[in-house]
Structure 1
Amino acid sequence: MAAGNPWDPASAPNAAGLLLDHFVASGMVTQEMLNISKKSASCFVNFSRLQQITNIQAEIYQTNLEIELLRLEKDTADVVHPSFLAQKCHTLQSMNNHLEAVLKEKRSLRQRLLKPMCQENLPIEAVYHRHMVHLLELAVTFIEGLENHLETLRNIPHVDANLKEMSKALAKMDILVTETEELAENILMWQEHQKEVCEIGEFTSSIIMMPLCEDYSGRIEKLPGFSSIFLILFL
């Protein structure tokens, strides 16, 4: 049977309990002080907490170490992981087989490369012919645009020189336009002058011909029979 707690006044009365009751009654201690002193506080509680903290820190360190290992494995997976290594080995094996086939057919490949590519048809199925027509149109358009772009790129280093030549040509054109305008004005003036000269010549010839016509008409009238015919022909 468990013994009574000597610090608990409510337990069975004993000497310690009676003494504590006497102290409480006399006011030397209070019930609250007795309640506080009654609580058990093991001296190993702090040590257990320290042990728990140490264990938690060890778990955190172990978790961080595992995370670092996983990161390292992820970074080096293409080097050390079996699946990636198998894929690389398969790719290398395929490349090796292709190179072996190329070396075996080296002579025929060399002859095909030396042979000019002309008058040869590529085997294309009939269902793809319409697509090939569209593809050829696109290729022609692309080549035309490519030639224009290449010509533009070739002319870029000569842009400054071309601009200078254009400026000189424009200056010469302005001079030629001015000279042409002056020449046109001179031609118009010459035409007016020639017109005036022709008018003066016609007027002078008419004045000179009038006495001659009168003299000839008087002489013709004296001729019998031929006067009227000659006058008509002359006039």
Structure 2
Amino acid sequence: MNHWDCSPFTVTPAASLLSRCVASGVVSQEEIDSAFSEPGSAFSPHLHEAKEQIRMHKQLDELQLQLDLLKVDMHSSDVAHAFHLTRRSEGLQRLGAHLLAVLKEQKSLTQRLMAPLARTDLPVPAHLHRSVVVSFRMMMDFMERLEEKLRSVRNQEDCSNSLALLDVSTAQLLALAAETDVLSNRMLQWRTAGSCEEPPSPQSAD
């Protein structure tokens, strides 16, 4: 009778599954008996090999992690080593000296950068001299006309501003004229009233 049976009269699902595996040839009855007699071991050599492979992969992962940590430690120790620090300090000193030299020669460098890179005079063939002269005259005429146009535009703006000022001045002048007219009328009224109120002279009384 199978060891996985709980009683002579009942068959558990595990026992049924194992019996099917034995019937299909996946495992043998001896492997099942050995697994039952030695708890903790695998049912078949294939499972045992898979278990060993998993264990070896874990060990390889641990070794790879340790190797990565050692590489990181090695790189950090190289950076902090006196040899590398000396090389870096020397490079920084050379860079500082170069910058100081550039600052000392700033004026000459500025003049060199401002100087034109090409020649100032361009060679012109002889048969094109007349065309160059004509083009130069046309360019001068264009510049003169452009200046005249710009001057006229500016004059128009000045004229518009002057007209606006003239309108304002005219309005102020009209207001002053109206006030002057009112004041003159008042003065005439005062004079008229004063002449009417004067007492008669003694000769006119006789």
TM-score category by the smaller chain?
under 0.3
Superposition TM-score, scaled by structure 2 size: 0.27
Which structure has the greater CA radius of gyration?
A: 1
Q: Larger RCO: Structure 1 or Structure 2 (Cα < 8 Å, ≥ 6 residues apart)?
A: 2
